[in-house]
Amino acid sequence: MSRVHTISSSILTIQQIGKILYGNYTLALAPEAEERITNCFNYLQQKIKSTSESIYGINTGFGALADKRVSAKDLEQLQRNLMMSHACGTGAEVPAEIVKIMLLLKVQMLAYGHSGVQLPTVKRLIDFFNREVYPVVYQQGSLGASGDLAPLAHLCLPLLGLGEANFQGYKLDSKHILEMFSWDPIQLKAKEGLALLNGTQFMSAYATYCLLQAERLSAWADVIGALSLDAYNGRIEPFQAILHQIRPHQGQVESARLVRQLLQGSELIGQPKEHVQDPYSFRCIPQVHGASKEAIGYATSVINTEINAVTDNPSIFPEEDQIISGGNFHGQPLALALDFTAIALAELASVSERRTFQLLTGNNHLPEFLVVESGLNSGLMISQYTAASLVSQNKQLCTPASIDTIPSSNGQEDHVSMGANAATKLYQVVQNVEAVLAIELLNAAQALEFRRPLRTSATLEKVVAAFREQVPFMATDTLLHPHLQRSISFLRTFKVEDLLEAGTAGDTE
């Protein structure tokens, strides 16, 4: 049975969006939200009739055409023209999960009652969300200011019966979907096209999705890092609380605590060691993973602010009798946060690949490439190549998009954020990091078998046992690709957050 998320004035968080996205929720407007939308729309219509002033985007052209006055009889055509002319995206299609978030965030913004749209327009966007009608949106075309114009044009074209949408596995002309549900095309009123196209919902949707994944991957990095440390026969001393009290970065302290708890009760971690120090990729897990945790936390705070903001233009304030043209659509706060998140996640992959490398070198009495008959068998040698390739690509993708700008609209829009490019780059980094961590898990679980009969902690043995249900120990060479794909799938389906909550109640020094 579907659950309902009611859009009101309550704060929306990234975590709530995750629950809505994956919890079979439908959307509804609270009465207060409907009232705000209706009051703002009525105010704007009255204002248009009573003023002779030029109001940007309402009775004028757009961008460099802001000084071109549009007659009252053409105001609705102006908005339709805007929608059609701005729908010029290209590249790959935006994944359905992210389109779904875009719909939610666009409704959330319009519900604050500062955009001047009709209530039926907002309700139709809710219909799309609830009926799983996902407009075809393209990844390329937004400069991240003034808003995500091209992607949002594609998102909202189906309101008019234009463009395409994905429905139940089929890509259909939007007019056919409207006919299917007996929906009339929306007849745009003044300002509506601009309200629909202006905003940061493309960047924000990508950021929301990627930060949900970032939190999951950060948790996995600690779990897999702890397993690798134990399989490598590493030392626990670098994780002692007293060490991190004298450099108390919050993320560092947290990662050290989690590794200590994850390894509590391990027979391996407690045995005497022949070596004095571990390589940095093991010894500095708290410092590296912890820094990424804090970067993800910063980005989350930025995006939580953004998804509760009004980012179209101009903004309408009925109670103050003001319509203000400003720059809330500018994506610079998101662009910087998205670039920062990509760098932070890329570092999780970078240090992970190094741990995979160390597990394969034959050190600490592990067989070279984690196979007994090396030479005849290559073992997991090439899995590290794949990880290295992905880490290298991440370095290229982490060149900041936010440092670039190209003037547009005849110089009227002379500084843009390029936050949309930061968003799509981050999405690819997320996929790469997930694969690199899956490769490390594959190697760590393989290495652990060479430490038997000794066992790691009960918590980590639970992870390995679940992993072994999908990926076997490999005594000789076998086709690796299917095992890698199942490893990636395991990271997506195993509830690592539950593991950390349930299995790490104590602490050890």
Domain 207-503 has CATH 1.20.200.10: yes
pLDDT range class, residue 509, cuts 50, 70, 90: low
pLDDT band, very low/low/confident/very high, at 266 (cuts 50, 70, 90): very high
Taking the whole predicted model, whether its pTM rises above 0.85 is answered as: yes
Q: Which of 489, 455, 459 is nearest to 471 (CA)?
A: 489
pLDDT of 100 higher than 70: yes
Give the CA radius of gyration of the chain.
26
Q: Could you read off the pLDDT of 180-203 as tens digits, one per residue? A: 999 999 999 988 999 999 999 999
- Is residue 508 over pLDDT 50? no
Mean pLDDT calculated for residue range 476-501 = 93
pLDDT at 502 over 80: no
If you average pLDDT over residues 141-165, what whole number do you get?
A: 96
Q: Report the pLDDT value the prediction gives residue 66, as an integer from 0 to 100.
A: 64
Give the tokens for residue 225: 């890092």
Portions of the chain given CATH number 1.20.200.10: 207-503
Measure the CA–CA gap between 364 and 375, rounded to whole angstroms: 20
Q: Is 427 a catalytic residue?
A: no
Strands 90-93 and 138-140: antiparallel
Q: Which two tokens stand for residue 250?
A: 């919050």
Tokens of residue 258, six digits = 């989690």
Q: Which residues of 449-476 are buried (b: 16+ CB within 10 A; e: fewer)?
A: eebeeebbbebbeebbeebeeebeebee
> Using CA atoms, how far apart are residues 184 and 195, in angstroms rounded to an integer?
20
CB-based contact 424:331 (threshold 8 Å): no
pLDDT at 64: 58
Task: Say which CATH class 3-199 falls into.
Answer: mainly alpha
The Cα angle at residue 436 between residues 430 and 438, in degrees rounded to 5: 100
Around 394, how many Cα atoms within 13 Å sit in the side-chain half-sphere?
28
Q: 300-330: per-residue pLDDT in tens?
A: 999 999 999 999 999 999 999 999 999 999 9
* CA-to-CA dists, residue 506 to 228, 246, 343, angstroms: 21, 22, 32
The two structure tokens encoding residue 432? 């790469």
pLDDT at 507: 55
Question: Residues 76-98: what's their mean pLDDT?
Answer: 94
d(CA 125, CA 157): 11
**Residue 9: pLDDT band by 50, 70, 90 thresholds?**
confident
Averaged pLDDT for residues 84-102: 97
Chain region(s) in the chain for CATH 1.10.275.10: 3-199
pLDDT in tens, 232-255: 999 999 999 999 999 999 999 999
Comparing 75-89, 330-344, 463-477, the range with the smallest average pLDDT is: 75-89
Mean pLDDT (whole number) for 474-489: 97
Encoded amino acid at 401, one letter:
A
Residue with tokens 């055409």: 65
Mean pLDDT of 287-310: 98
pLDDT tens digits for 23-38?
989 999 999 999 999 9
Q: Average of pLDDT values for 95-114?
A: 98
Total residue count of the chain as it appears in this document: 509
**Residue 1: what pLDDT?**
62
CA distances, 259 to each of 163, 265, 355 (Å):
50, 12, 15
In this prediction, residue 385 carries a pLDDT of 98
| 2 has pLDDT over 80 | no
Strand pairing category for 134-135 and 138-140: unpaired
Position 508, amino acid: T
Q: What is the mean pLDDT of residues 408-430?
A: 93
Question: Out of 25, 56, 206, 232, which one is annotated catalytic?
Answer: 56
